[in-house]
Structure 1
Amino acid sequence: MSRETLEFQAETRQLLQLMVHSIYSNKDIFLRELISNASDALDKLRLESLINKELQVDTDDLHIELEVDKDRRTLTVRDNGIGMSHDDVVSLIGTIAKSGTAELLRKLRETQDAGASQELIGQFGVGFYSTFMVADKVTLVTRRAGESQGTFWESSGEGTYEIESLDDAPQGTSVTLHLKPEDSEDQLFDYTAEWKIREIVKRYSDFIAWPIRMTGTEGSDAPLNSMKALWARPRSEVSDEEYHEFYKHVSHDWTDPLETIHMKAEGTFEYEALLFVPSRAPFDLFSRDGKRGVQLYVKRVFIMDDCEALIPQYLRFIKGVVDAHDLSLNISREILQQDRQIQVVRRRLVKKVLTTLKDIKTNDPERYGTFWAEFGRALKEGLLDDTENQDLLLDLMLVPSTAADSTSLREYVERMKDGQKDIYYMTGESRAMVEHSPHLEAFLAKGYEVLILTDPVDEIWVERVTEFDGKPLQSVAKGKVDLGSSEIPEEQAADFAPLLTWLGEQLQEDVKEVRLSSRLTTSPACIVGDEHDLTPTLEKMYRAMGQEMPHTKRILELNPEHALVSGLRSAHSANAEDPALGETAELLYGMALLAEGGELADPSRFTRLLAERLARTL
């Protein structure tokens, strides 16, 4: 096959331009990224050789090799790992096959701050492209294990790359960087200098499990790295910097983790775990295709990335390694899901992560606030199915309320007024919409604090969780509320009974009941649900997921002290047959629907009726 010149995917091309002209101050990380990729390739080859007995490969001397040519100003990173096929090269390097790339580029274009730019680049884990921060041209030669034909790839980081098939290529991958001139104004170091290479490897890649060798130097067979598995070493022997670099290796994040969790279990089933809580959410945290889980090793042998059996979906942001001592080397994902020992490990890991987060929340509220801002939405998903840890998860929650920008449920309970039995909350699309909702009026008038829940998952978990610390959770927009002296007097209820009956008949297509309200002080009306009804937002969510949902009729509540409502009662008593009353009923219901952020079935009719009614007042 002759050499082809292909164009990068549009988003990849833009990202390459950002890298070529990068203002990232620490350019050393390009080597860390290449070594990390090489390590992954060696892990995958060893695993493949254990599982696929027909694969004829030599695994006696798996290693990473660094080669410098000072005259040509090249640096080569070579491994004899799994390698790539022609299609792999095109899909993995010619295209950034990630749904969040467009979002990354948008944020980068909007960001003027240099520090924020580099953090965003790191957040999206585009390690290979970091080579263009130090190189004018990058050449790659690779051959996948078990295949006879190799692939050549080359690019200067502009709009195109060249690719062709090779008949003779060694197994594995070789990446050669044609470094920028030494006198380049943005080149702080000479990456052909042996001392610099050794420094970078020692700092960023000392824990890599495979030997990293440097050819053409004295004692080149001696590895540059110690190859000691961090998770197997006592915590007292590992520095924070070593932990942070290992985290960057397993996560492909460029920022330090928020917290490190190092644990070891002994007994009938032994394992070691080294887990990390990131300091910022990955771009694909809420993507359906987002990866989750930690790396699984068995007796130091890499088994799989993203082992979902070890970490529940709501903790998908946790990164790290679990090294089990008693599992089969060729265990499959399906077997793992059913393995009793794995389930025990999973429960222990979850408990350890949650208790660690609780410790941070107790001892360092500011740092916990950072965590919650990034991962709170994901953590709340645990309330949907992790009943074993429900109380702990509720204790970890931080939510805004009418009295605070952020509060825990325990703090809310401590502030509850004398005689208050329930924890009041309201769900909605935004804080502003909830704060201006008529449902809150009587609660605010009495000084009751109401939790403001605006995440989509809030609509679901409040249906599953009934109480906290013995206090029932009560929606201010559902059921009848007990506000003591605000209850409707019997005489007033009797006066309004004919109007309520008539309105129920007029609006029977939309509501199942019309009643007087004890939750309104200034608005004429509001719409509430029965205690166990689905909210309109939840109905909408289910329909968006393709589920057929019958429309739930709700309840119209009226404020008997409002001039509009009392005037409507008087008009109805004087002439119940007046056609204008029917229009007033429609307008009253429409206003209540709009006040809670609902959607009118016929907006044009509503605006026409309103315009006609306003015109009569002029």
Structure 2
Amino acid sequence: MTTSVEQNVESHVFEADVARLLHMMVHSVYSDKDVFLRELISNAADACEKLRYEAIETPALLGSDAESRITLSLDEENRRLVVEDNGIGMQRDEMIEALGTIARSGTRAFMDRIAASKGGEGAQLIGQFGVGFYSCFMVADRVDVVSRHAGSDQASKWSSDGKGSYSVGPVDLAEAPERGTRIVLHLMEDAKKYTSRWTVERIVKEQSGHVPVAIRLIEKPDSEPVQITDGTALWTKSKSEVSKEEYTDFYRGVSGQYDEPALTVHFRAEGRHEYTALAFVPGTQPFDMFDPERKGRMKLYVKRVYITDDAELMPRYLRFVRGLVDTADLPLNVSREMIQESSILAAIRKGVTNRVITAIEKLADSEPETYLKFWENFGAVLKEGVYEDYERRTQLMALARFRTSTSVDGYRSLAEYVKDAKEGQNAVYYLAGSSVDQLKASPQLEGFRARGIEVLLLTDSVDSFWVVNAPEFEGKVFKSITQGAADLSRFPTADGQIPQEQDSAGLATFIGFAREKLAAQVADVRASDRLTESAVCLVAPEDGYDRQMEKILQNAGRLQGAAKPILEINPAHPLVRAVAAVENDASYQEDATFLLLDQARILDGDRPEDPRKFAERLARVFQRSVRS
């Protein structure tokens, strides 16, 4: 015998080609299944917000239960997950309208009505009920929705397997919530994990921990509910309301680190786009800072609902920054892939980036010692911006700090370098390599050191790239001291003397001889004005890459063959003068010439081109010395 309630149950076919749209929703829009819980909680919070606004005009809708809440109930034995709210609820027709037709939205209609009647008070409503809801069919083979509208004495039940049709009809009030909506998910076998308290609580705290409604969890039937979120969001408060300890606790939660933030940036932007940003610069390097993918770790929220941490809210050279952005300008129910192409997101990215860089600039100006700690942690990454971010290149160059040939133990800014540059010096000189100790011993540095000309010592891989993209700083171009002519003869040495050119016919003859013998391996052999202690060094031609850049590109397989280097010879070095003075022994001079080239290679951090020939030549030279 059927009851009158059962007789009034109606079956309907989904509109709008539901099979195809459901397939798109499940397989295209969302990139992971956990998102269904975020969507259902968002809809539940939406319903609670609706009731709050409606109750402004009709307080009786709240009855004796004025506190909004969302309750999650787990039933592992029966493989069920229940999401229930005490929000506005739905009438039968609203249920058909909201749940029976994909891509329609009771929320959207409600927002339009609020905007028209109350001047936009509904702008804080979350989501679009009726779209994200269908993500629950990724994990459930049947979904039952029981709802009772606030102030109504009737309740309705909607049920579907998501495959083309649904049923809707009245339900006994004893089986319905006193107010609001209860969604029962009959989970698939492979979705049983969503009855685990640990799994559900983790997802809620990661993705929905800051919706404006408290969330409770009932671990199993007949258990007492436990509150797992309190419905507040730290970033919605003003800075004056948040203590340093609260910022630190939140930073540790959002970053997964246990240090204290070195810098906190918290602001709300208003105008064309409205959003709130809370960003932290860590006190220590994150473990993944040098991940080859260079992904950022800023989270995107839409109206306090977590969306993704893949939205690229900052440029990659600020990937060490942790935090979040919360905006009301983006729709909640779009895919992570679609959100990447949003012009709104691009505007937010620009605004947040500018504020973070401005905060770093203030730190550099007001707390230089603290800033140096920041630079030691993140300078290697920040310099990537000089290479990649043309718009902010000048700002980032001003923030850069360097070890130099005159300040090895401390750091210098480019502004300080330019201020102390020699009269007539039109370049910022730099030397790139793998370590400061190696660079300090470089023969190419000798002539600059002798003249008191400061040279930047660059040891990060990115240094060889950004100097190419930084054409000048305050009118001075960047120039590698391992490339092209040094042109140091116009600068006096530390004792005030301008070195004179070595005028020796024998030396000129030897240089010509070396140029001929080494023609297959070097582009030129010439007298050097950059050497004061070493006999020889290698430099790159004026055009092309400097020595370090060539090595980086070759090691990365991006350069098949390097340009022939130039061998520079110190005319005043005793070894060079002794070899040049040898007469009537061309074989000895040839051996000495190749040994000088290999010596230059070794000083440059390379190996002799042919170790066996190097050993043979060295043995012959030793034997000649013994005979002499």
Q: How far did 1:608 drift? A: 3.1
Amino acid across the alignment from 1:601: E
Q: How far did 1:591 drift? A: 0.6
1:243 aligns with 2:247: yes
The change in CA–CA distance for 1:504 and 1:168 in structure 2 (over 3 A counts) is closer
**Counterpart residue number, 1:361:** 364
1:174 aligns with 2:197: yes
| CA deviation vs aligned residue, 1:391-446 (integer Å, no higher than 9, x gap) | 11111111111222222212222322334332221011111111011111111111
**Counterpart residue number, 1:106:** none
**Counterpart residue number, 2:89:** none
The RMSD of aligned alpha carbons is 3.8
Amino acid across the alignment from 2:612: S
**Counterpart residue number, 1:44:** 35
2-structure distance, mates of 1:514, 1:246: 62
1:568 aligns with 2:579: yes
User: Which of these residues, 411, 415, 423, is aligned with residue 410 of structure 1?
Assistant: 415
User: Which of these residues, 351, 355, 375, is aligned with residue 352 of structure 1?
Assistant: 355
In structure 1, stretches of 5+ residues that fail to align are 1-40, 53-59, 67-77, 82-142, 150-164, 177-204
3-state SS, counterpart of residue 430 of structure 2: strand
User: Which of these residues, 296, 303, 314, is aligned with residue 317 of structure 2?
Assistant: 314
**Counterpart residue number, 1:603:** 611
1:441 aligns with 2:446: yes
Equivalent positions of 1:52-451 (< 5 A) are: 146=139, 169=192, 171-175=194-198, 211=214, 213=216, 223=227, 226-289=230-293, 291-308=295-312, 310-404=313-407, 405=409, 406-451=411-456
Q: How far did 1:324 drift? A: 1.7
1:614 aligns with 2:622: yes
User: Which of these residues, 480, 483, 497, is aligned with residue 478 of structure 1?
Assistant: 483
3-state SS, counterpart of residue 338 of structure 1: coil
The change in CA–CA distance for 1:411 and 1:168 in structure 2 (over 3 A counts) is closer
Query: 1:423, 1:474 within 8 Å by CA — same for their partners in 2?
Result: yes
The change in CA–CA distance for 1:206 and 1:243 in structure 2 (over 3 A counts) is farther
Query: 2:439, 2:457 within 8 Å by CA — same for their partners in 1?
Result: yes
Q: How far did 1:516 drift? A: 0.6
1-structure distance, mates of 2:547, 2:81: 57
The change in CA–CA distance for 1:565 and 1:168 in structure 2 (over 3 A counts) is closer
Q: How far did 1:523 drift? A: 0.9
Query: 2:41, 2:70 within 8 Å by CA — same for their partners in 1?
Result: no
| % identical aligned pairs | 36
Equivalent positions of 1:435-584 (< 5 A) are: 435-483=440-488, 484=490, 492=503, 496-571=507-582, 574-575=583-584, 578-584=586-592
2-structure distance, mates of 1:241, 1:258: 13
Q: How far did 1:548 drift? A: 4.2
2-structure distance, mates of 1:450, 1:228: 53
3-state SS, counterpart of residue 404 of structure 2: coil
Query: 1:433, 1:596 within 8 Å by CA — same for their partners in 2?
Result: no
- Paired positions, count: 456
TM-score by length of 1: 0.66
Query: 1:429, 1:455 within 8 Å by CA — same for their partners in 2?
Result: yes
3-state SS, counterpart of residue 459 of structure 1: helix
Query: 1:63, 1:213 within 8 Å by CA — same for their partners in 2?
Result: yes
The change in CA–CA distance for 1:534 and 1:588 in structure 2 (over 3 A counts) is same
More moved, 539-548 vs 404-413: 539-548
3-state SS, counterpart of residue 392 of structure 2: helix
Q: How far did 1:614 drift? A: 2.7
In structure 2, stretches of 5+ residues that fail to align are 1-31, 44-67, 75-79, 84-135, 143-187, 200-207, 493-497
1-structure distance, mates of 2:606, 2:367: 40
Query: 1:51, 1:330 within 8 Å by CA — same for their partners in 2?
Result: no
The change in CA–CA distance for 1:583 and 1:170 in structure 2 (over 3 A counts) is closer
Q: How far did 1:491 drift? A: 7.2
Amino acid across the alignment from 2:565: R
Q: How far did 1:564 drift? A: 1.7
Amino acid across the alignment from 2:35: K
The change in CA–CA distance for 1:421 and 1:496 in structure 2 (over 3 A counts) is same
1-structure distance, mates of 2:421, 2:491: 18
Q: How far did 1:478 drift? A: 1.2
Pair member with larger Rg: 2
Amino acid across the alignment from 1:396: L
Query: 1:479, 1:531 within 8 Å by CA — same for their partners in 2?
Result: yes
1-structure distance, mates of 2:306, 2:275: 14
Amino acid across the alignment from 1:461: W
3-state SS, counterpart of residue 391 of structure 2: helix
3-state SS, counterpart of residue 412 of structure 2: coil
The change in CA–CA distance for 1:363 and 1:168 in structure 2 (over 3 A counts) is closer
3-state SS, counterpart of residue 387 of structure 1: coil
| CA deviation vs aligned residue, 1:450-505 (integer Å, no higher than 9, x gap) | 11101111111112212212222222211112221578867727664332222112
Query: 2:536, 2:569 within 8 Å by CA — same for their partners in 1?
Result: yes
Q: How far did 1:584 drift? A: 0.6
Q: How far did 1:240 drift? A: 1.5
Q: How far did 1:307 drift? A: 1.8
Query: 2:502, 2:572 within 8 Å by CA — same for their partners in 1?
Result: no
Q: How far did 1:337 drift? A: 3.7
**Counterpart residue number, 2:110:** none
| CA deviation vs aligned residue, 1:510-531 (integer Å, no higher than 9, x gap) | 1101111111111111111123
Query: 1:270, 1:324 within 8 Å by CA — same for their partners in 2?
Result: yes
2-structure distance, mates of 1:365, 1:382: 21
The change in CA–CA distance for 1:387 and 1:272 in structure 2 (over 3 A counts) is same
Q: How far did 1:585 drift? A: 0.6
Q: How far did 1:544 drift? A: 3.4
Query: 1:493, 1:516 within 8 Å by CA — same for their partners in 2?
Result: no
The change in CA–CA distance for 1:460 and 1:349 in structure 2 (over 3 A counts) is same
More moved, 294-303 vs 224-233: 224-233
| CA deviation vs aligned residue, 1:552-602 (integer Å, no higher than 9, x gap) | 10111111111122222222xx33x62121111100011111112123211
Query: 1:259, 1:277 within 8 Å by CA — same for their partners in 2?
Result: yes
3-state SS, counterpart of residue 197 of structure 2: strand
2-structure distance, mates of 1:588, 1:385: 40
More moved, 336-345 vs 468-477: 336-345
3-state SS, counterpart of residue 456 of structure 2: strand
Query: 2:588, 2:621 within 8 Å by CA — same for their partners in 1?
Result: no
1:591 aligns with 2:599: yes
Q: How far did 1:80 drift? A: 7.3
Query: 1:148, 1:167 within 8 Å by CA — same for their partners in 2?
Result: no
TM-score by length of 2: 0.65
